[in-house]
């Protein structure tokens, strides 16, 4: 943990300021490897272990715990960062550009293995704070340890341990994995984004995904999300092999050579063609991601707009991404 970013943190229980109660430092920069944070107002203490401040609620249970455990296993097992993540993120946060991030305080709500934190750090943010409920926070910490402008926290998006100071924030592929999507988005914006600040979210779309909602979702909910992760990974390997062969051997060549007649016949063409830019390991990771979550909801464009407006945002852009998902971008009114 970088001590200079302590001023960004708040007690998730009472919103009080936090002080460093104890610290063991490591490395040439004297980063805090282990220690404790104490709230000035309510005296609750939070541990720092492995360089990551921990704010996981003691009463966390049910689907929230299952979801954290599932994605913690996934991001720990598939922890590589790819150069393609930069262009991928640009698609999800458009019309925001990376040049606009320079000098900003940025929040990554649900940072996973830190793939988007790394892009933000390279774009010159003043600070990028990533929060994840799962043990993936440790992976994010390792993947971004080389950046002096990144802080990783383990905590709950419903009770964010940060102050309302962020110029911009995003939540990419996260809030559709919780039962109360509208509520979580509202709490992220109201807790962390300052008046006048902006926020982006990317969610699964309902349009063109009826076959997933009606076929894949019931299978995921009843079976695959309840499998041992190792067994699910083996099953996903077979599905990934099929998708890899199709995307690289058929869909991508059809796109590159503009075989329009074949393109018109290909099922789920925009998305499977897009998969053709990734190697097998990443496609395997994507398949696991779709099958491991206890909760995965698919929303229409108007529903996504409603979530953003309900969070207190003035919607500036709503984009249908690859005809299968939605990206919304808005501003929190105020000076």
pLDDT tens digits for range 185-210: 999 999 999 999 999 999 999 999 99
Same domain, 117 and 223: no
Task: Decide: helix, strand or coil at residue 136.
Answer: helix
Instruction: Determine the 3-state secondary structure of 275 from DSSP.
Output: helix
Domain of residue 285: give its range: 210-292
Domain count for the chain, please give it. Answer: 2
List the CATH number of the domain containing 200: 3.40.50.150
Q: Give pLDDT, residue 58.
A: 85
- Which of 86, 73, 146 has its CA nearest to residue 113? 73
Assigned token pair, 172? 């990419």
123 and 84 co-located in one domain: yes
pTM over 0.85: yes
Confidence of residue 49 (pLDDT cuts 50, 70, 90): very high
Do 162 and 240 reside in the same domain of the chain? no
Q: Are residues 112 and 222 in the same domain?
A: no
Would you say residue 215 lies in a domain?
A: yes
CA distance 96 to 309: 19
Same domain, 131 and 173: yes
270 touches 322 (CB < 8 A): yes
């Amino acid at each position: 943990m970088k001590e200079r970013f302590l001023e960004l943190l708040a007690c998730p229980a009472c919103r009080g300021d936090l002080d460093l109660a104890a610290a063991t430092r490591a490395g040439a920069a004297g980063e805090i490897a282990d220690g404790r944070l104490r709230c000035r107002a309510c005296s609750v203490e939070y541990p720092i272990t492995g360089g990551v401040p921990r704010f996981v609620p003691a009463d966390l249970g049910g689907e929230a715990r299952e979801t954290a455990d599932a994605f913690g296993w996934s991001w720990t097992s598939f922890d590589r960062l790819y150069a393609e993540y930069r262009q991928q993120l640009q698609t999800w946060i458009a019309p925001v550009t990376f040049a606009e991030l320079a000098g900003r305080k940025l929040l990554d709500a649900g940072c996973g293995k830190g793939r988007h934190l790394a892009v933000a750090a390279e774009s010159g943010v003043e600070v990028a704070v990533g929060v994840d409920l799962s043990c993936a926070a440790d992976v994010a910490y390792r993947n971004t340890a080389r950046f002096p402008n990144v802080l990783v926290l383990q905590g709950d998006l419903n009770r964010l341990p940060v102050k309302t100071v962020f110029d911009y924030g995003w939540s990419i592929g996260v809030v559709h994995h919780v039962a109360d999507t509208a509520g979580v988005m509202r709490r992220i914006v109201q807790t962390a984004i300052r008046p006048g600040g902006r926020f982006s979210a990317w969610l699964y779309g309902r349009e063109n995904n009826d076959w997933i909602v009606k076929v894949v979702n019931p299978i995921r909910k009843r079976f695959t999300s309840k499998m041992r992760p190792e067994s699910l990974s083996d099953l996903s390997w077979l599905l990934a092999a099929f998708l890899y062969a199709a995307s690289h051997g058929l869909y991508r060549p059809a796109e590159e050579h503009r075989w329009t007649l074949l393109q018109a016949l290909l099922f789920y063409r925009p998305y499977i063609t897009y998969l053709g830019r990734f190697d097998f390991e990443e496609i395997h990771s994507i398949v696991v991601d779709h099958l491991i979550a206890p909760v995965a909801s698919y929303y229409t464009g108007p529903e996504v707009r409603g979530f953003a407006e309900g969070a207190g945002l003035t919607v500036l852009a709503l984009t249908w991404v690859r005809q299968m998902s939605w990206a919304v971008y808005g501003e929190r009114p105020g000076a």
